[in-house]
Amino acid sequence: MKTTINTLKNRIDSLEVELKAMRRMLGAVAEKKDSKAWDRLHIVGKAIARDWKSDKPSWQLISEARR
């Protein structure tokens, strides 16, 4: 029974990640609680995007890896 609960929790977590990715793709605005952290995250994201080697977006690779 505990394994089933953990499996469900993991699935819910992965669905939440996918939902956030889809919202970003559709232009949803993220809440900014700490503007300095978001600014740093934006810089890191730009660096990752610049060096990205795959034809697929990151969210799709993560989704496929979890299946």
What CA–CA distance (Å, rounded) separates 44 from 9? 29
Residue 51 banded pLDDT, cuts 50, 70, 90: confident
Residue 36 banded pLDDT, cuts 50, 70, 90: confident
Average pLDDT over residues 38-59: 83
pTM of the model: 0.38
Task: Give the pLDDT confidence score for residue 1 in this predicted structure.
Answer: 61
Closest CA to 48 of 63, 58, 36: 58
Task: Give the pLDDT confidence score for residue 23 in this predicted structure.
Answer: 83
Domain boundaries, the chain: 2-66
Q: How far apart are the first and last CA of the chain?
A: 22
